[in-house]
Amino acid sequence: MPETNTSPAELRELPAHELREEIEVLVVELFKAALLMEDDDELSLETSYFDLGLTSLKLTVLKQNLEERLELSINTNVLFNEPTVEQLVHHLTGLLAGPSAGSPPAQ
């Protein structure tokens, strides 16, 4: 699994599609580590991470790691409202891209 070495400041300057790719690499890397998966193991992006075996405690640690790596604050409720890796990546991309990303406002 390729590890992203892009700083949060550099991430914010990327075009939306590249930003999403970089965030996905980071999130997948952290989820695989939390789930004790090997680099070559397939991680379903569309399955609830609780169904994948992630516990609330591991999710809290993962949240802290994401906050440190991305230099942003993530509301804990987001993790429960964005229950798949794919949805979480979309949410984090929106946070880093800011209002100019063109994504619809959250309901």
pLDDT of residue 102: 42
> Residue 105 above 90 pLDDT?
no
**What CATH number does the domain located at 8-98 have?**
1.10.1200.10
pLDDT tens track for 41-53: 999 999 998 999 9
* 107 vs 82: which has the higher pLDDT: 82
State whether the Cα torsion 59-9-96-15 is positive or negative: negative
**Is the entire prediction scored with pTM above 0.75?**
yes
Give the confidence band of 76 by pLDDT, cuts at 50, 70, 90.
confident
Tell me the two tokens of residue 76. Answer: 């804990």
pLDDT tens track for 3-36: 556 777 788 888 888 899 999 999 999 999 999 9
Per the prediction, the chain carries an average pLDDT of 84
